[in-house]
């Protein structure tokens, strides 16, 4: 549930990058516009703009392997470029290769401890229950970058404490996050999950209702309202929220399954 990422503009200072293969990826399977980019890079292998554009296009298509291959090629030319390491880490995270993403973010932070790189790394480490996540957040907080970053740091700390079972600190961290940014929907959701998991359903419902006020069109909020109502035995209320979740996101299979379970499927 990562939200940060706009504080630092990453500038890739790439020169002399030669065209590389995509490690088995078939260019013919990609859209024509991307195939054209490959051809342009073959003609102008030193063009930074073309390579960055290609990586972005591949990323947007979910073609992570060839995008990562491009960053690997760039790193062969410039292994100390923070921007390339950071972009590679993002791609690995998108590809759900958490271990490799952590390694790449760590490499980026060693080169240049930008706030975004540190928080990106901390976010993954928090899910891995590694206290280093808290230390990285403390380092970013010490930079005094404003309430947006304080919210990010508090959220990540909250995730760490939630995953390690320190619920008091988890709730306090999520509350600080919301205090710095009341629209931080992920913090509401994490609080609701904790209340739900600890059988405090009225409190979970209260937090989810607050979340719904903040983001009334969020299908996940509606779905979890349905789950809480269903667990309390309120069938009609559960059906109402599940139906709303399905309307907001017709691809939300969990909502459809819940409605079928309650005898209110299509």
Looking up tokens 């996050």 gives 177
Question: Is residue 28 scored above 80 in pLDDT?
Answer: no
Q: What was the pLDDT predicted at 13?
A: 32
Residue 116 Cα distances to 67, 213, 218, 241, 251, angstroms: 21, 29, 26, 36, 31
pLDDT band of 229, cuts 50, 70, 90 = very high
Contacts of 147 (CB under 8 A, 6+ apart): 180, 181
| pLDDT per residue as tens digits for the range 90-107 | 999 999 999 999 999 999
Q: Which domains does the chain have, with CATH numbers?
A: 1-112 (1.25.40.10), 203-266 (1.25.40.10)
Burial 228-256 (b: 16+ CB within 10 A, else e): bbbeeeeeebbbbbbbbbbebbeebebbb
Dist CA 208 CA 31 (whole Å): 41
At 265, the pLDDT band (50, 70, 90 cuts) reads low
Above 70 in pLDDT, residue 5? no
């Amino acid at each position: 549930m990562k939200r940060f990422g706009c504080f630092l503009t990453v500038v890739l200072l790439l020169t002399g990058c030669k065209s590389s293969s995509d490690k088995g990826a078939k260019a013919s399977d990609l859209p024509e516009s991307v195939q054209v980019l490959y051809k342009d890079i073959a003609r102008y292998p030193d063009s930074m703009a073309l390579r960055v554009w290609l990586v972005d296009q591949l990323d947007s298509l979910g073609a992570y392997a060839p995008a990562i291959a491009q960053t690997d090629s760039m790193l062969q030319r410039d292994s100390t470029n923070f921007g390339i390491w950071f972009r590679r880490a993002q791609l690995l995270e998108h590809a759900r290769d958490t271990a490799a993403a952590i390694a790449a973010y760590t490499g980026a932070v060693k080169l240049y401890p930008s706030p975004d790189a540190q928080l990106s790394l901390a976010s993954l480490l928090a899910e891995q229950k590694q206290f280093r996540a808290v230390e990285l957040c403390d380092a970013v907080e010490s930079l005094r970058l404003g309430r947006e970053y304080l919210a990010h740091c508090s959220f990540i700390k909250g995730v760490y404490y939630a995953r390690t079972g320190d619920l008091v600190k988890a709730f306090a961290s999520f509350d600080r996050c919301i205090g710095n940014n009341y629209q931080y929907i992920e913090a509401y959701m994490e609080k609701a999950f904790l209340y739900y998991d600890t059988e405090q359903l009225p409190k979970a419902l209260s937090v989810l209702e607050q979340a719904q006020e903040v983001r009334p069109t969020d299908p996940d909020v509606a779905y979890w309202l349905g789950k809480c109502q269903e667990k309390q035995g309120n069938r009609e209320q559960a059906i109402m929220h599940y139906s709303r979740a399905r309307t907001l996101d017709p691809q939300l299979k969990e909502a459809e399954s819940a409605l079928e379970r309650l005898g209110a499927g299509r």
